[in-house]
Amino acid sequence: MYREITIIKSIRTYGRVKKSLPFLKVCWLSSNSKKDTIFSLSTAPGKAGIAVIRVSGPHSYRTVEELASKKFAIVPRKLVVCTFLHPKSKDPIDKGMVVYFPGPHSFTGDDVVEYHIHGGKAVINGLLTALNNCSVERIRQAEPGEFAKRAFYNGKLDLTSLEGLSDLINSETEAQRKQAFRQMTGDLKNLYDNWRQRVIEALAYTNAVIDFGEEEMDVADTILPAKKITQTLLNDIKNHLYDDKRGVRLREGVHITIMGPPNSGKSSLMNWLTQRSTSIVSNIPGTTRDVIESFVDIGGYPVVFTDTAGLRSTVDLIEQEGIRRALEQARLSDLRIIVLDANNLISLNNVSKFKELFQREALPLKNTDFILLNKTDLIPKETSSLEKTFTGISKAYPHQKVLKISCKDKTNLQQFLNQLIDEIKTKCESSSLVPTQTRHRLHLEKCEFFLQKALEEKDLVLFSEELNCARQQLEYITGRISLEDVLDRIFSGFCIGK
């Protein structure tokens, strides 16, 4: 499909570099929404000490003239204490502060006014009603994400920065906050813009030949630098993409599945990890029949723990479905914790039963798997059977982390948690910038495809057009060329006041 598109574009443009399109403003400019003055509560709803109501648009300053109890000249970016009145009844609403940010030096790029008032529900509703009753032309309540959308269209933020802003607002762990802040402040944008400039540099070489003709220029000497730039960029994008999805994992959470046979202590471990009664603990086999998920902040990293049905042979149809879901979850998870009853392993006097359990389910072990021998508190200290079993499993599985624990008396649980955090860090941390959105990966994979096709092309026009297509994919990421459905998807995730 990509190839067909490339050929068609080559016929139309003859490999010439199009000037980079500005932000796509067709839908934005065709409507008159930019002429509206919008307002909304920008802090969280509910009782609070302070609430902030933001107003943005061409007539933002006029709202102050109508709501303020006295006439005064506001100094930009300085808070002024004032009593706010209803514009028609002149009833006082609240005493607070107001600050004015003239455009383009504001969050949205338009004139912005912020009202800082007390955070009571009646106070907030009173000021919102007052704004709605202002005689200001075309004033209305803002739509979800409309302030951020204006910032985008006014060139204050690109799409990656907006996505970083959204992630920062929704971040729940320290690691998520750090990643979101780097993206919001433009680290990813700068990287992708740098790559775009390198594509344009390569295009400059090819178009020089196309524009001036092969007879006037040494084609080999001209194309060689373009090929070199393309190859280097292709390698950089490949390294950026093949990061084991660390950025996406840090944003969405590391998925960890707790699995093993029934009554091995999976639910007890789940409750200890989540520090609450997430799963039902019972000595009746088959209590857990569905996947139970819980989001937890572990060492500053987002983790989604999943408790699953015990793996065993059963004729119970519901339990069979639970086991099927457990195996499916285990195959998709980033990390797995396998909990075994140390007493059963000792009484059966074999390690092979454990191995048979996973071979039967076609679920090969991974190097990152944890194997926990639980219920060691029930084994007499004088017996050597536990050590033999522990040694046998450790030798049989040298690449897995084998630990003796007790969920009842908390033996070695902290040691296990420390090792788990180290593994989570490995799954999330990266020394370089990584893509954080599935959308980024999609466009980068297409860019990689076009760059690879360019290197394979012998025809100069097609080589140039492949580079042009690669450039456009990078522009889709930052929003230099944007699609309205992509924008709607991003901005719909923002709250009303953002």
Here the CATH number for the domain that contains residue 277 is 3.40.50.300
> Which residue, among 45, 76, 49, 44, has the nearest Cα to 60 in the 3D structure?
76
Domain total for the chain?
Answer: 3
Please compute the mean of the pLDDT values over residues 186-195 and round it to a whole number.
Answer: 93
Is the bond leading into 302 cis (omega within 30 degrees of zero)? no
Here the CATH number for the domain that contains residue 441 is 1.20.120.430
Question: Is there a single domain that holds both residue 235 and residue 289?
Answer: no
Q: How far apart are CA 445 and CA 439, in angstroms?
A: 10
Please compute the mean of the pLDDT values over residues 30-40 and round it to a whole number.
Answer: 76
Residue, of 377 and 15, whose pLDDT is higher: 377
Burial of 60-77, coded b for 16+ CB within 10 Å and e otherwise, reads bbbbbebbbeeeeebeee
Whether the per-residue pLDDT at 484 is higher than 70: the answer is: no
| Confidence tier at 386 by pLDDT (50, 70, 90) | confident
| Confidence tier at 415 by pLDDT (50, 70, 90) | very high
Q: Cα dist. 88→66, 132, 135, 281, 339 in Å?
A: 9, 11, 9, 63, 69
Question: Is there a single domain that holds both residue 51 and residue 118?
Answer: yes
Question: Is there a single domain that holds both residue 227 and residue 334?
Answer: no
Question: Is there a single domain that holds both residue 191 and residue 110?
Answer: no
Burial of 325-354, coded b for 16+ CB within 10 Å and e otherwise, reads bbbebbeebbbbbbbbbbbbbbeeeebeeb
Q: Tell me whether residue 4 is in a domain.
A: no
Q: How far apart are CA 76 and CA 55, in angstroms?
A: 15
Q: Tell me whether residue 29 is in a domain.
A: no
Q: Model confidence over 416-441: pLDDT tens digits?
A: 999 999 999 988 887 678 888 888 99
Q: Is residue 310 within 8 Å of 344, Cβ to Cβ?
A: no
Here the CATH number for the domain that contains residue 148 is 3.30.1360.120
Please compute the mean of the pLDDT values over residues 482-488 and round it to a whole number.
Answer: 50
Question: Is there a single domain that holds both residue 403 and residue 338?
Answer: yes
Q: Which domain, by its residues, includes 350?
A: 249-428
Whether the per-residue pLDDT at 108 is higher than 60: the answer is: yes
Residue, of 225 and 304, whose pLDDT is higher: 304
For the record, the structure tokens of 246 come out as 């660390």
Q: Tell me which long-range contacts 316-324 makes (C-beta under 8 A, separation of at least 24).
A: 316/286, 318/289, 319/286, 319/289, 321/289, 322/286, 322/288, 322/289, 322/290, 322/291
Q: Is residue 368 within 8 Å of 333, Cβ to Cβ?
A: no
Q: Tell me whether residue 210 is in a domain.
A: yes
Tell me the one-letter amino acid at 133. N
| Confidence tier at 262 by pLDDT (50, 70, 90) | confident
pLDDT at 352: 64
Question: Is there a single domain that holds both residue 115 and residue 53?
Answer: yes
Question: Is there a single domain that holds both residue 238 and residue 256?
Answer: no
Q: Tell me whether residue 90 is in a domain.
A: yes
Whether the per-residue pLDDT at 277 is higher than 80: the answer is: yes
Whether the per-residue pLDDT at 448 is higher than 60: the answer is: yes
Question: Is there a single domain that holds both residue 254 and residue 360?
Answer: yes
The mean pLDDT of the chain is 82
Please compute the mean of the pLDDT values over residues 105-113 and round it to a whole number.
Answer: 95
Q: How many CA atoms lie within 13 A of 181 on its CB side?
A: 7
Last residue of some domain: 119, 154, 189?
Answer: 154
Question: Is there a single domain that holds both residue 42 and residue 130?
Answer: yes
Q: Tell me whether residue 116 is in a domain.
A: yes
- List, edge to edge, every strand of the sheet that includes 48-56: 80-85, 92-101, 112-119, 48-56, 37-41, 139-141
Whether the per-residue pLDDT at 267 is higher than 80: the answer is: yes
Q: Tell me whether residue 385 is in a domain.
A: yes
For the chain, percent of residues with pLDDT exceeding 70: 82
Question: Is there a single domain that holds both residue 386 and residue 257?
Answer: yes
Q: Tell me whether residue 106 is in a domain.
A: yes
Question: Is there a single domain that holds both residue 357 and residue 256?
Answer: yes
Last residue of some domain: 428, 444, 465?
Answer: 428
Whether the per-residue pLDDT at 393 is higher than 50: the answer is: yes
Q: Is residue 60 within 8 Å of 110, Cβ to Cβ?
A: yes
Whether the per-residue pLDDT at 212 is higher than 50: the answer is: yes
Please compute the mean of the pLDDT values over residues 442-451 and round it to a whole number.
Answer: 94
Whether the per-residue pLDDT at 78 is higher than 90: the answer is: yes
Q: Model confidence over 214-250: pLDDT tens digits?
A: 555 455 666 788 899 999 999 999 999 887 788 888 8
Whether the per-residue pLDDT at 287 is higher than 80: the answer is: no
Q: Tell me whether residue 8 is in a domain.
A: no
Strand-pair category, 335-341 with 254-259: parallel
Last residue of some domain: 387, 412, 428?
Answer: 428
Q: Cα dist. 167→173, 188, 193, 247, 296 in Å?
A: 11, 14, 21, 12, 17
- List, edge to edge, every strand of the sheet that includes 335-341: 292-298, 301-307, 254-259, 335-341, 370-374, 401-404
For the record, the structure tokens of 481 come out as 């060329």
Least confident of 90-94, 272-276, 392-396: 392-396
Q: How far apart are CA 376 and CA 346, in angstroms?
A: 11
For the record, the structure tokens of 61 come out as 């300053």
